[in-house]
């Protein structure tokens, strides 16, 4: 009987890992496209409309992403964990002022709205936010909306 259970475990683990890989791939596919920051929060207070950073994200296949502001451009890879509650994310910076640093966060994706709560770059994984509140923390929330690309006829 013990041998039978061991065989079942050996056979089941690859199936579970494949299911997780499929979920991650689907989530990254859903995030592909161009996103514009439309709101956010820091220090427990929402950004006033006129101070929302001019930040655009372009997410490509496999979570490869580029962030652009009027002053800067940086590349990073997004790693998502859609089965965690709340869903979690890491941004691994590959260029720009935070090159080599990681940000830890949580996110939610609701149609064409992508909300993230992130630690500052270089934080520890244990500092990952537990909620979308920034009160009494150095975390920042960004709300992005998908930019619809015009389809050429």
What does the mean pLDDT of the chain come to? 86
How do residues 78-132 score in pLDDT, each as one tens digit?
999 999 999 999 999 999 889 999 999 999 999 999 999 999 999 999 999 999 9
With 0-12 / 13-18 / 19 or more C-beta atoms within 10 angstroms meaning exposed / middle / buried, residue 61 is exposed
Question: What backbone phi and psi angles, to 5 degrees, belong to 68?
Answer: -135, 135
Q: What is the DSSP letter of 139?
A: -
Task: Give all domains of the chain, ordered by start, each with its CATH number.
Answer: 2-146 (2.40.128)
pTM of the predicted model as reported, rounded to 2 decimal places: 0.82
Strands 45-46 and 56-59: unpaired
How do residues 63-81 score in pLDDT, each as one tens digit?
999 999 988 899 999 999 9
Q: What's the Rg (C-alpha) of the chain?
A: 18
pLDDT at 11 over 80: no
């Amino acid at each position: 009987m013990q041998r039978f259970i061991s065989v079942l475990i050996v056979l089941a683990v690859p199936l579970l890992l494949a299911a997780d890989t499929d979920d991650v791939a689907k989530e990254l596919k859903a995030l592909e496209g161009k996103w514009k920051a439309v709101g956010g929060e820091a220090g427990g207070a929402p950004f006033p409309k006129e101070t929302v950073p001019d930040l655009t994200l372009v997410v490509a296949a496999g979570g490869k992403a580029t962030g652009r502001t009027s002053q800067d451009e940086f590349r990073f890879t997004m790693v998502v964990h859609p089965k965690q509650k709340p869903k979690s994310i890491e941004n691994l910076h590959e260029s720009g002022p935070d090159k080599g640093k990681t940000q830890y966060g949580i996110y939610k994706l609701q149609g064409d709205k992508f909300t993230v709560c992130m630690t500052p770059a270089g934080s520890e994984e244990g500092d990952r936010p537990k909620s979308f509140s920034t009160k009494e923390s150095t975390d920042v929330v960004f709300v992005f909306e998908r930019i619809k690309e015009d389809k050429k006829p």
